[in-house]
Amino acid sequence: MLQFHPPGFIQKTVNTHLGKMAYYTQDQAFWGEVNSLPTMLFLHNFGGGASAYEWSKVYPALATEYRILAPDLIGWRDSDRPQRDYQIEDYLTTITEFIHQTCPELPINIIASSLTGAIAVRLAIQHPELCQRLFLVCPSGFADFGQDAGRRLPKGLISLPLVDDLLYGLGAENELAVGNFLRSFLFQNPDRLSPEIIAAYLNSAQKPNGKFAALAFLRGDLYFDLSLYLRQLQTPTVIFWGEEAQFTDINLGRRLAGTNPGVVKKFWSIASTGILPHLEIPAVFIGLLRKSMEILSK
């Protein structure tokens, strides 16, 4: 069995109304007692092959300071993948259920990327008692300021029976396609893309019923205008943005941050990276994250 989580971390599960959620946390036999530490919840992006692996180069660096929780969201990798038309409420509800079952001490810190970063904003608005600080990487609802930034194929085509299977199979379930997608759209520098990263994304994409959540994202079923929510946010927030991020460029990020400058305490522009700077240059990202924690602690 392929294992992509770092040494010193174990997988556990909790049950939500949509099924089992798997997550990674510290092995206390390795790290010692961590339950007294503040919690940092790592939420991965959406898209074919997504999983908690996205954060696996970052969270070990914080394992002596925070209790780490890094779940595979419902519909992805080792969590249950029910056949359904996924909606935003599915993720708002299951993430809330997950927090209540795993976090006896509230509020917690949340770090999330892209669409899941946007969902974290909505979660913090709905349940401010859950969220102490937000650290968001390229957060976008993919329909921000009324502009559709994500879908690249007509929704009607993606929704056709058998066509969706073909598109997912060609685009996400083979090694060549996964590697090309990561090189072309998620990483700014393809030399930073390792065989391990490709294997981890491929392993997630090939899970049975893995297509349903991915296609909901591709169809745009999960899109919304983040700008309408960011201006309501009261949770202290830092935003990180890869300067070469595709689909959602850095000018969009600056515009989003500008909707609530009193709450967005810092906007980091990260040169020579795409939409996943934390996976592309994790050491640099960890440094910026630590600095951001200092900023939000003042």
- 221 within a domain of the structure (yes/no): yes
Q: How far apart are the C-alpha atoms of 201 and 48, rounded to whole Å?
A: 7
- 2 within a domain of the structure (yes/no): no
In this predicted model, what pLDDT tens digit does every residue of 205-252 receive, in sequence order?
889 998 899 889 888 899 999 999 999 999 999 999 999 998 899 999
Q: What is the pLDDT of residue 173?
A: 58
- 236 within a domain of the structure (yes/no): yes
Q: How far apart are the C-alpha atoms of 290 and 285, rounded to whole Å?
A: 9
In this predicted model, what pLDDT tens digit does every residue of 208-217 receive, in sequence order?
998 899 889 8
Query: What domain range includes position 185?
Result: 9-297
- 134 within a domain of the structure (yes/no): yes
Strand 39-43 to 19-26 pairing: unpaired
- With beta carbons less than 8 A apart as the criterion, state whether 30 and 57 touch: no
- 3 within a domain of the structure (yes/no): no
pLDDT digit string (tens) for the chain, length 298 residues? 457 889 999 999 999 999 999 999 999 999 999 999 999 999 999 988 899 999 999 999 999 999 999 999 999 999 999 999 999 999 999 999 999 999 999 999 999 999 999 999 999 999 999 999 999 999 999 999 998 765 544 444 444 444 455 455 545 557 878 888 899 889 999 999 999 999 999 999 889 998 899 889 888 899 999 999 999 999 999 999 999 998 899 999 999 999 999 999 999 999 999 999 999 999 999 999 999 999 999 8
- 4 within a domain of the structure (yes/no): no
- 169 within a domain of the structure (yes/no): yes
| Number of structural domains the chain divides into | 1
Q: How many C-beta neighbours within 10 Å does residue 171 have?
A: 17
- With beta carbons less than 8 A apart as the criterion, state whether 64 and 31 touch: yes
In this predicted model, what pLDDT tens digit does every residue of 42-70 receive, in sequence order?
999 998 889 999 999 999 999 999 999 99
- 1 within a domain of the structure (yes/no): no
Q: What is the pLDDT of residue 201?
A: 93
Exposure string for 9-30, b = 16+ CB within 10 A, e = fewer: bebeebebebeebbbbbbeeee
Q: What is the pLDDT of residue 298?
A: 80
Token representation of residue 208: 């049975």
Q: What is the pTM of this model?
A: 0.93
The domain that holds 216 is classified in CATH as 3.40.50.1820
Q: What one-character-per-residue DSSP string does the chain give?
A: ----SPTTEEEEEEEETTEEEEEEEE-HHHH---TTSPEEEEEPPPSTT--GGGGTTTGGGGTTTSEEEEEPPTTSTTS---SS---HHHHHHHHHHHHHHH-SS--EEEEEEHHHHHHHHHHHHH-TTTEEEEEEES---BSGGG---S--S-HHHHTSTTHHHHHHHHHHSSHHHHHHHIIIII-S-GGG--HHHHHHHHHHHTSTTTHHHHHHHHHTTT-B-THHHHTT--S-EEEEEETT-SSS-HHHHHHHHTT-TTTEEEEEEETT--S-HHHHSHHHHHHHHHHHHHHHH-
